[in-house]
Amino acid sequence: MTVRVVVAEDQSAVRAGLVLILGSAPDLEVVGEAGDGERAVELARALRPDLVLMDVQMPRMDGVTATRHIVAEGLADVLVLTTFDLDAYVFGALRAGAAGFLLKNADARELIEAVRTVARGEGMIAPAVTRRLIAEFAAPSRPAREAADPEALASLTPREREVLSALAEGLANAEIAVRLDMAEATVKTHVSKVLNKLGLRSRVQAAVLAREWGV
């Protein structure tokens, strides 16, 4: 199955490079390019891609706001491109429901694999970003704790807690299925239930929250 991608990046040279890299993979197809957040949302609505590769700093509408619109409308999954010095943007994208976070200095192989992973519905966070996200999410001064009620953790079944723990380790559905000896389709069902009970939009949010709670 071909993964249809919209690339949103305001720097034309960088965007061209991303398109070239993604186009080199036989199972990926770039169906649209956007130079700002508003255009990214427009293309997502018109083309209904599988994934939007989203820069965060763009004119007219930033990537966080664009992500919020795309996720809220159920148009596509969003893989955010970020850098070390954009914690606030990363945190905002997490709250907006981004399904993955990748550093801009990732090589071609990492970019292609990240797109494939997010397109499978499994979400991903670059290891270097994970530490930033956890620190940002757990900061007492941040509104992150409002993203989910800790009491909701008690509503999870033992099996759902096991799935949440696996998400915190960054495991894919297939890996969780092997570890917990269940069908992959059952894992997907448990993940959906965990997200619904915790009031979260993505497994990435669940992973960060689980790490904060020590699950």
CATH entry 1.20.1730.10 includes domain 3-137: no
pLDDT at 150 > cutoff 70: no
Which of the four pLDDT bands, split at 50, 70 and 90, describes residue 215?
Answer: low
* Own/partner pairs, 30-35, CB within 8 angstroms, 24+ separation: 30/5, 30/6, 31/4, 31/5, 31/6, 32/6, 32/7, 33/6, 33/7, 33/8, 34/6, 34/7, 34/8, 34/9, 35/8, 35/9, 35/10, 35/59
The residue-averaged pLDDT of 149-157 equals 76
The residue-averaged pLDDT of 33-52 equals 96
> For position 133, what pLDDT does the model report?
61
Average pLDDT, rounded, for the chain:
83
pTM of the model: 0.72
Alpha-carbon distances of 53 from 34, 150, 172, rounded to whole Å = 10, 31, 20
The continuous run of DSSP H or E covering 31 comes out as: strand 28-34
> For position 142, what pLDDT does the model report?
45
CATH 3.40.50.2300 domain position(s) in the chain: 3-137
The residue-averaged pLDDT of 23-31 equals 96
- d(CA 103, CA 97) in angstroms, rounded, equals 17
> For position 146, what pLDDT does the model report?
44
pLDDT at 131 > cutoff 50: yes
Beta bridge partners of 168: none
> For position 77, what pLDDT does the model report?
92
Q: What are the φ and ψ backbone dihedral angles of 47, each rounded to 5 degrees?
A: -100, -20
pLDDT at 25 > cutoff 90: yes
Fold of 148-213: Arc Repressor Mutant, subunit A (1.10.10)
Count of residues in the chain: 215
- d(CA 139, CA 33) in angstroms, rounded, equals 36
Alpha-carbon distances of 79 from 55, 103, 187, 193, rounded to whole Å = 9, 10, 22, 23
Which of the four pLDDT bands, split at 50, 70 and 90, describes residue 111?
Answer: very high
> For position 102, what pLDDT does the model report?
86
> For position 37, what pLDDT does the model report?
94
pLDDT at 156 > cutoff 80: yes
Do the bridges between strand 100-103 and strand 124-125 make them parallel or antiparallel, or are there none, so unpaired?
parallel
CATH 1.10.10.10 domain position(s) in the chain: 148-213
In this predicted model, what pLDDT tens digit does every residue of 70-87 receive, in sequence order? Answer: 998 999 999 998 875 555
